[in-house]
Amino acid sequence: MADKAQIQEAIEVQGEEVRKLKSEKASKEQIDEEVSKLLQLKAQIGEDDGKHQFGTRDYNPKQMAIREKVFNTILGCFKRHGAETIDTPVFELKETLTGKYGEDSKLIYDLKDQGGELLSLRYDLTVPFARYLAMNKITNIKRYHIAKVYRRDNPAMTRGRYREFYQCDFDIAGQYDAMIPDAECLKIVYEILSELDIGDFRIKVNDRRILDGMFAMPWKEVRKEMVSEKGLSEEVADQIGEYVSLQGGMELAERLLQDQKMSQSKQACAGLTDIKLLFSYLQLFQVTDKVVFDLSLARGLDYYTGIIYEGFLTQTGIAAEAQNSSGAEESVSVGSVAGGGRYDGLVGMFDPKGRKVPCVGAEVMYKKNPKLLSQLQYCEDSGIPLVAILGEQELKDGVVKLRAADISRADLIAEIKRKTSEA
């Protein structure tokens, strides 16, 4: 590791470079690249982490009082829904975590080999829960677990997230009528985010199978179909991002089930049927004012098999707060505060006979987690070579963001063709 004074000097030089590029009105790509270098340097020295230099933090009595209040709200909700709690060790056998998180596995903290088994700090509470179910042959439980998890993330890069943070998990394991436990998990997220009084929120819902089905489609045909069948203009059809920017509720699921292209994918149809059923329960639970079916929602973990969802705050103040003072003015939405999904295969991975226990659950994050990064992560995990990003800023600037590099709308199709032929 380089000397801290050296890094500090490099940070100053790099900061100067960024300021220079900005004053010269250099291209956004160029500035972004240099800002990214600056953030990486800062991460090395841990400059964004306050008093702690390794991506973690202390909590003083005032912060603990807030935490206690938040946890009591969450706990009250979990208990109201009839959940019991368990606890598992902070570390697991390394092999327990292996192969469960895809590309994110590189963020797992390993313990030093001091003799005995190889151990790693838990990355989430879901995998230990699945291991616990399999080990104790439990096939039916509603459990909550509020505990810390560990990720060797770059805290300066992801802004506002620490390497140690709390997750508040609620999961339902067992055989139930389709979508009933899934709907309850969403109701719980809805109740908690309402009660916490942290501003307006939305819960996006999607299904892993719809994503997988969609990404398996040949893009050229999708475009053709969009133009010929849907009567969309070529220009609109070219915005492939549009397809995943669809948002709605039950009616959207119904419409997509009619969609000729979609309906050819068995798994996409299974997902859409479940989404439709889910929304019928969500209507009964009266939570559809905040829950949207959003085809752009992706979650980065390998183990999801069905419904996925994410709760996020709609206020932009959060994003502004996450900016740092020198150089990094790129606004990133860090509003994601809860997430979860269905993972029907995970328990079976820990059972010697592979016996499956269907599970679904919500985790409420005590620290915010930048949604965009986790989406990009999902794509990287799934080997998806290109992501079209069409956010508020992109709409304003008249561009579609292709992964990280901005590109004009006119060049989009050509770029996609070029990139896909490379792959």
341 forms bridges with which residues in the sheet?
308, 361
Decide whether 88 or 324 has the Cβ nearer to its own copies: 88
d(CA 131, CA 77): 25
Query: Nearest approach, Cβ of 173 to its own copies (angstroms)?
Result: 13
Secondary structure class of 368 (helix, strand, coil): strand
Query: Nearest approach, Cβ of 133 to its own copies (angstroms)?
Result: 11
Query: Nearest approach, Cβ of 68 to its own copies (angstroms)?
Result: 8
> Is 151 assigned to a binding site?
yes
> In terms of Cα–Cα distance, which of 271, 304, 302 is closest to 178?
271
> Is 303 assigned to a binding site?
yes
Compute CA distances 114 → 107, 110, 119, 301, whole Å.
21, 12, 10, 30
> Is 171 assigned to a binding site?
yes
> Is 150 assigned to a binding site?
no
Decide whether 46 or 370 has the Cβ nearer to its own copies: 46
d(CA 275, CA 88): 33
Residues in contact with its own copies by the rule CB under 8 A: 1, 44, 51-54, 56-61, 64, 67, 84-91, 93, 109-117, 119, 121, 132, 135-136, 143, 148, 150, 152, 164
Query: Nearest approach, Cβ of 108 to its own copies (angstroms)?
Result: 9
Decide whether 110 or 200 has the Cβ nearer to its own copies: 110
Query: Nearest approach, Cβ of 172 to its own copies (angstroms)?
Result: 14
> Is 314 assigned to a binding site?
no
Using the Cα atoms of residue 234, residue 235, residue 236 and residue 239 in order, give the sign of their dihedral.
positive
Secondary structure class of 237 (helix, strand, coil): helix
Decide whether 25 or 51 has the Cβ nearer to its own copies: 51
d(CA 167, CA 161): 12
Contacts of 287 (CB under 8 A, 6+ apart): 186, 187, 190, 203
- Determine how many CB atoms are found less than 10 A away from the CB of residue 325: 6
> Is 343 assigned to a binding site?
no
Decide whether 23 or 114 has the Cβ nearer to its own copies: 114
> Is 167 assigned to a binding site?
yes
Point out the annotated binding site. Answer: 124-126, 151, 167, 171, 299, 303-304
Point out the annotated binding site for L-histidine. Answer: 124-126, 151, 167, 171, 299, 303-304
